[in-house]
Chains A and B, each alone.
Chain A
Amino acid sequence: MIEGVVERVAVDLLRLAATRLPRDVKGALRRAYREEEDETGRAQLRAILKNVELAEEAGVPMCQDTGAIHFYLRAGADVGRLDRVGDALRRATQRATVEVPLRPNAVDPFTGENTGDNTGRLIPALHWEIVPGDRIQITALPKGGGSENACALAMLRPSDGVGGLKRFVVDAVIRAGAEPCPPTILGVGVGGGADVAVGLAKAALLRPLGHANPDPRLAELEGELCEAVNMTGIGPMGLGGRCTALGVHVEWAHRHPACFPVAAAFQCWAARRASALVLPDGSVEYLTEGAR
């Protein structure tokens, strides 16, 4: 049973994510528009808001880059037949590619051949977390290529400390400039090892805007980083202005004594995500505010 429900829900989530921005992101873009003083920057934000509205009304993807498809799964240990979920998500991705439609974005890195249906080796990417219970939460994160190309990893020296971490984030934003389609959301992953830091940074993009880190030290760091990034003057679409980032989210893990990995993940203003909870009776609860 689970396969059918998961497939149906995942098609829905891919459609919702592609066509409607979550409420927190829309709110942040409207606030940025109100507060932006640069005339060119304001014009960019006006076009963005207009575009979001048009996409919602027409039910078409807001950006032609409908992303590489990632699913984040929080699966209850008591949910049966979890081995079938991966196949259901692949089928959902293939269906959504035709039904929404999504642009085919899965390419063989060696031959350049496009599979045509957004599925391929290790794509859609599945990020599993096993949690207690009998429910499964599915989040679709279609990730655009422009913002993905700006992602960065540094293996700092432990003596570089938090100051080094902050400089790394600002440097990554300056290097990225206009390319990740600012105003962006930044995910910062600290510690853990190279792969863990990058994974944490990307997962940090799932946190809704306006929800600071529950750890007050990290909440302060997030605020400080956001302010710093917005002092660069890169602005909407890199044409100048105050609003370069809508928010910065930091996640961390303990590190090896010799290592200080820091990763920055960028999400474009079209910060698309949609979540739903599948309950044991097969009913579905949609979680992303504004998405439904």
Chain B
Amino acid sequence: MAVFRLRTPLSEGDVRRLRAGDTLYLTGTMVTARDAAHRRALEFIRAGRRLPVDLEGLAIFHCGPLVRREEGGWRVLAAGPTTSARMEPFTAELIGALGVRVVIGKGGMGAGTTEAMRRFGAVYGTFTGGAAVLAAGAVRAVRGVEWLDLGAPEALWVLEVERFGPLVVAIDSHGRNLHLEVRERAEKSREAIYRGWT
């Protein structure tokens, strides 16, 4: 379980080196997106329209940050990950179409995303859910915000981050998925737990 420090934009080779269980610290640009932004992004892609931010080689962050408008821009006060499973229906297509190399969230993602990450070369990094102040501490600047009409939590926040992490590589580009492995073990634990309960 190695520790990697990487900087965006990331190449396919960068993320192919990462293995499930590795720790990753990311520097560079990440863009937040939740349910509504994913839905709109797919509409754009399917209509052949360009997104307001080019995500090639960057990280998507499943996060609806708590922000405050201050003189000269925005300040991120808290920016922990939201539940990634809600983005499962959109993510495989997004990775394929946009060249996203890292998806950051919490709770893990499913088989469709795992397959897309294996095929296109991307990883899923999980950040500790709720550790929002720790995450905000790595945000150096808010570069911009798009789609604010979706509401602040749902907008695309373009964040400049430094050593954002620790991220646990929970899905690598070789087909491993830690959350699904833990879940399978949990399913199997049922029998031992139920023994003696009638």
Residues of A within 8 A of B (CB): 39-40, 43-44, 47-48, 50-51, 54-55, 58, 60-66, 101-105, 107, 112-114, 116, 144-146, 149, 163, 166-167, 170-171, 174, 177-179, 181, 228, 231-235, 237-240, 268-270
Contacts and interface: CB of A to CB of B under 8 A. Distances in A.
A9 to B, nearest CB: 23
Given A55-B78, A178-B106, A237-B129, 7 more contacts: A61-B77, A65-B64, A103-B64, A177-B179, A177-B186, A178-B182, A237-B106
Contacts of B66: 61, 64, 66, 101-103
Residue among A55, A64, A103, A177 with most chain B CB within 10 A: A64
A277 to B, nearest CB: 29
B36 interface: yes
Contacts of A239: 126, 168, 170, 178-179, 182
B134 A64 contact: no
Interface string B25-63: 000000000001000000000000000000000000001
B189 A64 contact: no
Interface residues of B, number: 50
Interface stretch (B6-14, B80-88, B93-101): B80-88
A174 B107 contact: no
B133 A114 contact: no
A181 B186 contact: no
24 contacts: A40-B178, A50-B134, A51-B130, A61-B77, A62-B78, A64-B79, A64-B132, A65-B64, A103-B78, A103-B153, A107-B151, A114-B153, A145-B82, A170-B193, A177-B107, A177-B183, A178-B106, A179-B85, A181-B129, A181-B130, A232-B186, A234-B186, A237-B126, A269-B130
B156 to A, nearest CB: 16
Nearest to B77: A60
Contacts of B130: 48, 51, 62-63, 65, 144, 181, 268-270
Contacts of B181: 240
A47 B129 CA distance: 9
Given A104-B153, A177-B182, A40 B80 contact: no
Contacts of A102: 66
Given A62-B133, A166-B197, A240-B182, A104 B21 contact: no
B152 interface: yes
Interface of B is mostly: mixed
Contacts of B192: 231
A51 B78 CA distance: 10
A174 B183 contact: yes
Contacts of B80: 63-65
Nearest to B78: A64
* List of 9 A-B pairs having minimum Cβ-Cβ separation, nearest first: A51-B131, A181-B129, A64-B78, A47-B128, A114-B151, A178-B107, A64-B132, A63-B130, A232-B186
A43 to B, nearest CB: 6
Contacts of B170: 239
A62 to B, nearest CB: 6
A271 to B, nearest CB: 10
B83 A146 contact: yes
A59 to B, nearest CB: 10
B151 to A, nearest CB: 4
Nearest to B23: A43
Given A47-B166, A103-B153, A177 B133 contact: no
B5 interface: no
Contacts of B183: 174, 177, 234, 238
